[in-house]
Structure 1
Amino acid sequence: MRGDTMRVVIVGAGLAGLTAAVELVAAGAEVTVLEARDRVGGRMHGISATATAVADGGAAYLGVRHTALLEQVEEYGLHLASTGMVGDSTFLVSDRRTTTASRVPPLDAVALGDLFDRLEDLVASVRPDAPWSSPQAERLDRVTAARWLADEVTHPDARTFFPLFLGEMMAADPAAISVLHMAFYLRSGGGIRYLNAFEGGAQQWRIDGGAHLLCEALGDRLGDRIRLSSPVAAIEQGDDGVLVRCVADEDGRSSEYRADRVVVAVPPLLAERIDFLPGLRTPRATAATGRGCAVKVHLGYPDPVWRQSGLSGWSVSTDGPLLSTVDDSPPDGSAGVLTGFVTGAEAIAYSALPGDRQKEAALAHTHRLFPQLPPPTHFAVTDWLREKYSRGCYAALFGPGDWLQLGPTLTEPHGRVHWAGTETSLEFFGLMEGAIRSGRRVATELIHGAESAIPSRKVLSR
């Protein structure tokens, strides 16, 4: 970094914003991080699943290709826990319960194979570096994944499995995303086989004690540079810098921060709610852009009691609310944590229920899956659809037309305003790895003086 010290305000203390902040501080910048919540971490959040065990309420899994994330895990002295499963899988298909050593649901194997062959061909046709420039991009971005399924797949078993697969991979309802977004997401993450795999895949490990520990470690390094409970309302820029204005508190007072540059590191739907002056040339989200539809349910037990019956805790159901479950118990088995995933359209319906009904529905489903289990000692729901400062999880869902409209300017600075967040990363879009890479990218832009036309307004001299 050359010349006078650069002042940077970063909006959002999720993994992308924290990564960018640490990189910029190391380069000599004066950094302030504004976070709307009363904690750091964004969509990485630890939940008390038992009296002694913390589980991931948000982002959780990583694999060997997630090199930037693994570097941070090592740098901050964190440890990995294997997600390797021992025991049989449980399937609840049309209310018929079966257990088997296989992780493949008891559906027609030929039909599922044909579905994946078609998906593989589709994924291979998308440009990972510029999906909006892919062959047939206009057609693929107009059509929803649900329409593609109706047109391309006839076997009922494949049609049953498809929304379960997209729910697990993307927390998406097929009717809410474009085919281009589906294909790009799967390619960006390393391909279908890698994303879907535990051993050797994108779900090989989780961070022991919770992924939120990484964000807390980054936050500790930044110290009092972070301002919590500081939601940003407006970003006003001109020739002489940027003014960032926070939402007024209960007393009507609004904090203001001046900077040379701003990094907006929040999901697109949140960025779109910020008042930019001058206004954005292209939006960060459109009416078609959706929330990642994910709710996580954690059931806590004194120990992983399902293992006593030879079960792994892994399950798949064709009906909700718990479309899948997984054993997230501590590596030493000191407690039992069963995590249930409610995704896609099921998540929307489940989120609309009052808390007591959510618990009742989840426990009833768990009893159908694992009738031998006692009642859990702990129960927790993390409803990302209701999270005001996330607007969904795992990541924003790009609907029809979004990639053609939003894609080319995802990372293009708006004057002194720069962009970060996993939704701005063309590598591992939607994953923790993508968030880190986006934070490093934007820090490099600022450190090496990437320029963009500054709107001709002197708004900060008053």
Structure 2
Amino acid sequence: MKKEKVILIGAGLCGLYTAFLLQKKGIEVLVLEANTRIGGRIKTLTGTTGVTMEMGATWFGNQHRHILEVLYTLELPYFRQHTQGVSLFETMSFVPPQKFEIADSEEPSFRIVGGTATLIEKLASEIGMQNIKTGSKITTIKEENNQLIVMDTAGNSYSTDKVISTIPPNLLVNSVVFEPNLPETFLQLAKKTHTWMGESIKFAVEYKTPFWKQKNYSGTLFSQASIIQEMYDHSTADNSGFALKGFLNGGTSVLSREERKEKVIAQLATFFGPEATDYVAYYENVWREEPLTFQPYEQLVLAHQNNGHSSYKNPLQKGKLYVSGAETATQNPGYMDGAIFAAKTLASQF
């Protein structure tokens, strides 16, 4: 049985940044990640043309000072989201979409050069991959001789002084057995805490040329009537790769991937012309189908419900178990900025 100082559950942004901060304090860490990849709800795909497309966390703004500070510290460049040109707003399927332009004076959104995953890769290299173990799904956390014993599906067990969970609270309490049991009030809170991104279906369509820009369209689209509810230009920072990316109607999770793709391409062709059908590839991520991220709720949970709840500030298991993550942040919960803030808040207690 290996002895570790602090074990972190989840190699998403909050888990990795917490590990980074604890290492700076000279604390030994081990990050255990159930998935075969790191990043959590940061998931950047690279198309055959080299364009990067975000299936998870993407944007941030000037108000998100915590992530801006991290990008500055790690020397990771970012760029302004393209919004120039005509944008579209569809209210009803039988009415042509309204056209509008987004003024340059509008508060900008930013994206990380090379994709959001570059932030994850940078943190992982700073922490050291030897301190991050993938394919390690936690099954049990039990208290023993003033230590916590952490066990995973592969049969590994670790003895540690403290455990920090950074996975969604609802997923934590529904997938890990605790000995002794966690307080019932905490269990009920966790089960009623909204999991950010859980209901989202993200999609991207890769193209060889930015034909929409050539027609003076921004690529920005909002619709209350079609499968694409929200969409933006997703060209690379240097304009060498091109894609459109956004969110699909969550109710279309009942459709097949092929059915969703057909509806997306048809909608794009209706709005932007036949060039939309000449695509390189279609990509999507149905987050409710990611069991290592999303756990169905036992009852109705509203968007943002219990995110940032004050009870998440209190450690459990006699001060040895901490529940953190983007959902627990008291500032910008669910956002990348919230994940960073949650990490900073927790690391300051060590």
Does TM, scored on the shorter chain, surpass 0.5?
yes
Structure 1: gaps (5+ residues): 104-196, 249-253, 448-462
Deviation at 1:373, TM superposition (A): 2.5
Deviation at 1:215, TM superposition (A): 0.9
Q: Secondary structure at the match of 2:22?
A: helix
Distance 1:76 1:228 in 2: 23
Distance 1:279 1:362 in 2: 46
Distance 1:401 1:383 in 2: 19
Q: Secondary structure at the match of 1:334?
A: coil
The aligned length equals 334
Q: Secondary structure at the match of 1:55?
A: strand
Q: Secondary structure at the match of 2:313?
A: coil
Distance 1:54 1:198 in 2: 25
The aligned counterpart of 2:225 is 319
Q: Secondary structure at the match of 1:320?
A: coil
Contact 1:88 1:99 in 2 (8 A): no
- Over 3 Å counting, the alpha-carbon distance change for 1:390 and 1:54 in structure 2 is same
The one of 427, 444, 462 equivalent to 2:331 is 427
Structure 2: gaps (5+ residues): none
Deviation at 1:368, TM superposition (A): 2.1
Q: Secondary structure at the match of 1:101?
A: strand
- Over 3 Å counting, the alpha-carbon distance change for 1:57 and 1:29 in structure 2 is same
State the AA in 1 paired with 2:289: R
Distance 1:198 1:38 in 2: 41
Contact 1:49 1:298 in 2 (8 A): no
Q: What's the Cα RMSD here? A: 2.5
Distance 1:373 1:411 in 2: 52
The one of 160, 170, 177 equivalent to 1:259 is 160
Provide TM-score, normalisation by structure 1. 0.68
Distance 1:428 1:302 in 2: 36
Distance 1:221 1:269 in 2: 30
Q: Secondary structure at the match of 1:217?
A: helix
Deviation at 1:290, TM superposition (A): 6.0
The aligned counterpart of 1:16 is 14
State the AA in 1 paired with 2:322: H
Distance 2:66 2:304 in 1: 31
Q: Secondary structure at the match of 1:36?
A: coil
The yes-or-no answer on 1:388 pairing with 2:291 is yes
State the AA in 2 paired with 1:268: P
Where relative contact order (Cα < 8 A, 6+ residues apart) is larger, the structure is 1
Deviant stretches of 4+, over 6 Å: none
% of aligned pairs identical? 27
More strand by share: 2
Bigger CA radius of gyration: 1
The aligned counterpart of 2:132 is 226
Distance 1:204 1:287 in 2: 30
The yes-or-no answer on 1:303 pairing with 2:206 is no
Q: Secondary structure at the match of 2:348?
A: helix
Provide TM-score, normalisation by structure 2. 0.88
Distance 1:245 1:275 in 2: 10
State the AA in 1 paired with 2:7: V
- Over 3 Å counting, the alpha-carbon distance change for 1:208 and 1:336 in structure 2 is same
Deviation at 1:92, TM superposition (A): 2.3
Deviation at 1:79, TM superposition (A): 1.2
More helix by share: 1
- Over 3 Å counting, the alpha-carbon distance change for 1:49 and 1:382 in structure 2 is farther
The aligned counterpart of 1:436 is 340
The one of 344, 357, 370 equivalent to 2:259 is 357
